[in-house]
């Protein structure tokens, strides 16, 4: 009798259920913040948006500015504070600014509202013997201070410091060598970490020109070398990334098409670019990376109190215009992988050599 009664209750319950499922929760004010501060930027940008929810296609809602932007008057406080030993010493108003040159994407474009500020602090660092102006003080922290519809939000970040490439790697007098007496080899890019730099991502850019009659066009191929993560956020930790010779020439042969209409391709140099994230940004990136294991769930990460998003520090440093060694350039011009690409050199180091493009 007990089983019959339970079955009857279950049937009655199911018969009375609606077949419609409402997946939308009641509306709630949620602020989303993205701000990545780089001490080399003279103007600093912070995105302050709201989450949205509605019936129908979310991609359609994403294209509507009112779905993403807070109405005028909703944000009553928007400031950045410089913190020296945890104490606010100077404040900067975040000014709403409309940018109009965004590429089409999932969210509304080309017009978007962002918030900007400028620091009064300026200093200089040296790169390749050239002074470079910086606009944020990397000795202190910066604090985001918002009030949105009466809700206080905050976040803090360190500023990623400058760091040093190995002198030989940074020197434009010492070329990139990818060929050894026994065959193709490797070039090792070396640098030393500095305080507040956690994740270092290395890329290289291969720069060349294509000549077709009187027309000349510039091209760049950018490829990832690798990522190195500091064991701590102190300083003076040796770090490196490898440029493999075989992979380098194979990549060029794959990306650059054989084209009989090209008279010649002129090698202009190789740039190395290091993009650095502080500890907060590194954690955010780690938790945002594609899942490669059997564990599919991972916690979302935000360092914004009473909101979502990331307010963190980043930095970029480059070596521009490295030459290839004679043997490496010869491999580019006459090697099995790239001989049909019609390369010669326009790099100043090769002027007057058999590899020079000029007659």
Same domain, residue pair 229 and 331: yes
Any domain includes 358: no
| Region of poorest pLDDT, from 94-108, 173-187, 260-274 | 94-108
Q: Is the pLDDT of residue 184 over 90?
A: yes
Q: What pLDDT shows up at residue 296?
A: 62
Q: Tell me: pLDDT of 358 over 90.
A: no
**Are 149 and 193 part of one and the same domain?**
no
Higher pLDDT, 258 or 105: 258
DSSP class of residue 94? Answer: P
In this structure, is residue 10 part of a structural domain?
A: no
Distance of CA 331 to the CA centre of its chain: 32
Asked if residue 195 and residue 95 are part of one domain, the reply reads no
Looking at 100, 130, 159, the residue that finishes a domain is: 159
> What local confidence, expressed as pLDDT, does residue 127 receive?
78
Three-state DSSP class for 102? coil
Q: What is the pLDDT of residue 233?
A: 58
Same domain, yes or no: 215 and 342: yes
Q: What is the mean predicted confidence (pLDDT) over 3-27? A: 45
- 205 in a domain, yes or no? yes
- Region of poorest pLDDT, from 88-92, 228-232, 323-327: 228-232
Q: What percent of the chain lies above the pLDDT cut of 90?
A: 70
The band of 359, judged by pLDDT with boundaries at 50, 70 and 90, is low
Residue 23 lies in a domain: no
Q: What is the mean pLDDT of the chain?
A: 87
Same domain, 119 and 171: no
Residues 174 and 116 in one domain: no
Cα 209 to Cα 169: distance, rounded to the nearest angstrom: 24
Expressed as residue numbers, the domain containing 142 is 31-159
* Choice among 191-195, 205-209, 298-302 with the minimum mean pLDDT: 298-302
- CB-based contact 277:312 (threshold 8 Å): yes
Render pLDDT for 262-317 as a digit per residue (tens, 0 to 9): 999 999 999 999 999 999 999 999 988 776 666 666 678 999 999 999 999 999 99
Instruction: Tell me, yes or no, whether 87 and 65 share the same domain.
Output: yes
Residue 18 counted as domain residue:
no
- The answer to whether residues 127 and 171 belong to one domain is no
Final residue of a structural domain among 120, 138, 159: 159
Binned at pLDDT 50, 70 and 90, residue 352 comes out as: confident
pLDDT value of residue 213: 92
- Of 137, 159, 181, which residue constitutes the final position of a domain? 159
Question: Does residue 45 lie within any of the structural domains?
Answer: yes
Residues 327 and 204 in one domain: yes
Residue 88 has pLDDT above 90, yes or no: yes
- Greatest C-alpha distance within the chain: 102
If we measure between CA atoms, which residue out of 290, 272, 285, 165 comes closest to residue 222?
272
State how far the Cα of 41 lies from the Cα of 124, in Å rounded to an integer. 13
Cβ–Cβ under 8 Å, residues 196 and 217? no
The per-residue pLDDT for 11 is 37
pLDDT score, position 288: 84
What's the structural domain count of the chain?
Answer: 2
**Model's pTM, two decimal places?**
0.86
**Which of residues 57 and 216 earns the better pLDDT score?**
216
Place of tokens 């990832």: 224
Which pLDDT score is estimated for 235? 72
Distance (Å, whole) CA 156 – CA 35: 11
- Per the domain annotation, does 134 fall within a domain? yes
Per-residue model confidence (pLDDT) at position 27: 62
Of 42-51, 103-112, 135-144, 245-254, the range with the lowest mean pLDDT is 103-112
Q: What are phi and psi of 310, to 5 degrees?
A: -145, 135
Q: Is there a single domain that holds both residue 147 and residue 220? A: no
Same domain, 172 and 134: no
Question: Is residue 313 situated within a structural domain?
Answer: no
The residue written with tokens 């290839």 in the block is: 324
Per residue in 59-81, pLDDT (tens digit) is 776 777 667 888 889 999 999 99
Indicate if 142 and 172 belong to the same structural domain: no
pLDDT at 18 over 70: no
């Amino acid at each position: 009798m007990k089983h019959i009664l339970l079955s009857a209750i279950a049937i009655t319950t199911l018969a009375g259920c609606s077949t419609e499922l409402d997946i939308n929760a009641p509306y709630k004010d949620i602020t989303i913040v993205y701000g990545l501060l780089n001490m080399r930027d003279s103007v600093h940008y912070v995105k302050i948006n709201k989450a949205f929810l509605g019936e129908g296609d979310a991609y359609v809602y994403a294209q509507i500015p009112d779905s993403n932007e807070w109405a005028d008057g909703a944000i009553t406080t928007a400031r950045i504070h410089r913190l020296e030993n945890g104490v606010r010493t100077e404040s900067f108003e975040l000014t709403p600014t409309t940018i109009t040159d965004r590429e089409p994407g999932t969210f509304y474009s080309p017009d978007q509202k962002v918030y900007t500020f400028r620091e009064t602090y300026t200093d200089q660092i040296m790169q390749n013997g050239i002074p470079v102006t910086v606009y944020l003080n990397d000795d202190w922290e910066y604090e985001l201070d918002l009030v949105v519809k009466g809700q206080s939000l905050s976040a803090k970040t360190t500023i990623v410091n400058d760091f040093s490439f190995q002198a030989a790697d940074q020197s434009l007098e010492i070329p990139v060598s990818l060929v050894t007496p026994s065959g193709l080899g490797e070039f090792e890019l070396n640098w030393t970490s500095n305080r507040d730099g956690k994740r270092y991502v290395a890329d290289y850019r291969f720069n060349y020109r294509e000549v077709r009659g009187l027309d000349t066009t510039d091209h760049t191929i950018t490829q990832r070398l690798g990522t190195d993560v500091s064991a701590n956020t102190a300083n003076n930790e040796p770090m490196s990334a490898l440029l493999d010779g075989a992979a380098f020439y194979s990549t060029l042969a794959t990306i650059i098409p054989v084209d009989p209409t090209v008279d010649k391709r002129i090698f202009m140099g190789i740039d190395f670019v290091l993009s650095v994230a502080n500890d907060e940004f590194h954690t955010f990136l780690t938790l945002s990376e594609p899942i490669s294991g059997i564990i599919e769930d991972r916690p979302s990460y935000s360092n914004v109190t009473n909101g979502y998003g990331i307010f963190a520090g980043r930095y970029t440093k480059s070596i521009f215009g490295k030459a290839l060694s004679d043997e490496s350039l010869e491999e580019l011009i006459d090697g099995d992988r790239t001989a049909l690409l019609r390369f010669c050199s326009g790099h100043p180091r090769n002027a007057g050599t058999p590899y020079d493009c000029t007659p």
